[in-house]
Amino acid sequence: MKSQTSKWTLLSLVMAVLAVSIALASGPLFEAQPGDLASFSAVAPIDAHVHLYKDDLAFDSLMRRLNLRILDICVIDDRDSYAKGLEPQRSDVLKVVHRTGGRAVLCTTFSPYKFEEPRFAQSTIHQLDADFATGAIAVKIYKVMGMEMKSKAGKYVMPDDPAFATIYKDIAAHDRTVVAHIAEPDSCWQPPNPDSPDYDYYKQNPQEYAYAHPEWPSKAAILAARDHLVAENPKLRVVGAHLGSMETDVNQIAQRFDRYPNFAVDTAARVPYFMLQQRDKVRAFLIKYQDRILYATDLVVMPKDDTEKALAEWNKTYERDWKFFATDQNIEYGGHGYKGLALPQPVLRKIFHDNAVHWLPGIMGKP
Ligand SMILES: [Zn+2]
């Protein structure tokens, strides 16, 4: 009996090894089915751009189930009552960080508005260094630079203003990353167009609609200032949020990648813009620059938002995006169908995991 058992055990072991080898060779581990997030979870996905301000165990459960980590981002905008200052959002994010055992990681920010006050840079650096000590791995800068803030002399203040120079040096010296949401989609400067992915946003936020503010700087001028900041700080990693606001043509992004080795982009809220461009062109771009693109969503959950609704939205977003990047199935967007990119698995692993690890050191927890 004993020898019979071990013979069978050995045989089943050989069979199991064979089965796994066949499975790995043909790759069904990563063959996503509609509505199936198992292959998404298998790459240990990182969402590099989320605004989760609600401390609820349900998000921790979701992140564990999906094997997901997120960069949880603070943003200061004096036109928004919750985002007027760093508090309460920094405390809210730190609660989420704690609740999720570090699956959510803090991206802090600073208020740029008082840039003309004496000691502005010093006190900002003081605040950022304290945030780094409490675990912040990145610093967000926001489109109010270039599209809202003015100097006392009445000039629009750009992200490369000398007032911010020592702050960027400090972030680089601490080996932290800048997440730069600078400028907006092209449609922000264009007349209302119901076919644009951003049509509803500007309808709801007319104060952010550049088309209604012809006195604002042009998008080209704002992106030139952003590029200048990237060029001036070669030791600073800069992740351009929302495809670096170059959402309509991947060639514009490629041009920056070729010029600035310290520049990457996240896909937050701009995945549909990949669908709207020529499929082969986008696919070739993602394969060529597979080390420079970070998967991200821009999902937002305010402290008073409904948890169930938010969870449904998160699941739906990850399902749609994974289906688009990982399979060649049809994806519905805005009443049209788009064929998924079916990116090779090593490329998926970079976009959904490795690149965040590289560009956002600390995203996996303390080294
Ligand atoms: Zn955002």
d(CA 179, ligand 1 centre) in Å: 10
Straight-line distance from the first to the last Cα atom of the chain, in angstroms, rounded to the nearest whole number: 51
Q: How far is the CA of 27 from the centre of ligand 1 (A)?
A: 34
119-126 contact pairs (CB < 8 A, 24+): 120/163, 121/163, 121/164, 121/165, 121/166, 121/167, 124/167, 125/166, 125/167, 125/170
Measured in angstroms, how far is the CA atom of residue 216 from the centroid of ligand 1? Answer: 21
Nearest to 72 by CA among 298, 317, 267, 353: 298
What local confidence, expressed as pLDDT, does residue 16 receive? 52
Torsion sign, CA atoms 316, 317, 318, 322: positive
Q: What is the pLDDT of residue 12?
A: 56
* pLDDT at res. 36: 76
CA 178–ligand 1 middle distance (angstroms): 13
User: How many angstroms does the Cα of residue 298 sit away from the middle of ligand 1?
Assistant: 5
The pair of structure tokens assigned to 69 is 């980590």
What pLDDT does residue 141 have?
Answer: 98
Using CA atoms, how far apart are residues 168 and 149, in angstroms rounded to an integer? 18
Q: Taking Cα atoms as reference points, which of 349, 318, 325 lies closest to residue 47?
A: 318
pLDDT at position 128, please?
A: 98
pLDDT at 366: 66
pLDDT reported for residue 225: 98
Expressed in angstroms and rounded, the spacing between residue 348 Cα and the centre of ligand 1 is: 22
> How far is Cα 278 from Cα 213, in angstroms, rounded to an integer?
32
**C-alpha 30 – ligand 1 centre gap (Å):** 29
Per-residue pLDDT, 97: 98
Q: How far is the CA of 125 from the centre of ligand 1 (A)?
A: 23
Cα–ligand 1 centroid distance for 181 (angstroms): 8
pLDDT, one tens digit for every residue, the chain (367 residues): 334 444 445 455 555 555 544 444 444 444 444 457 999 999 999 999 999 999 999 999 999 999 999 999 999 999 999 999 999 999 999 999 999 999 999 999 999 999 999 999 999 999 999 999 999 999 999 999 999 999 999 999 999 999 999 999 999 999 999 999 999 999 999 999 999 999 999 999 999 999 999 999 999 999 999 999 999 999 999 999 999 999 999 999 999 999 999 999 999 999 999 999 999 999 999 999 999 999 999 999 999 999 999 999 999 999 999 999 999 999 999 999 999 999 999 999 999 999 999 999 999 986 4
pTM value is: 0.90
The CA 257 to ligand 1 mean position distance, Å, reads: 22
Query: What residues contact residue 363 under an 8 Å CB cut-off, 6+ apart?
Result: 46, 48, 69, 71, 105, 137, 356, 357
Dihedral in degrees, nearest 10, Cα atoms 23, 27, 28, 32: 160
Q: In terms of Cα–Cα distance, which of 52, 126, 128, 125 is closest to 95?
A: 52
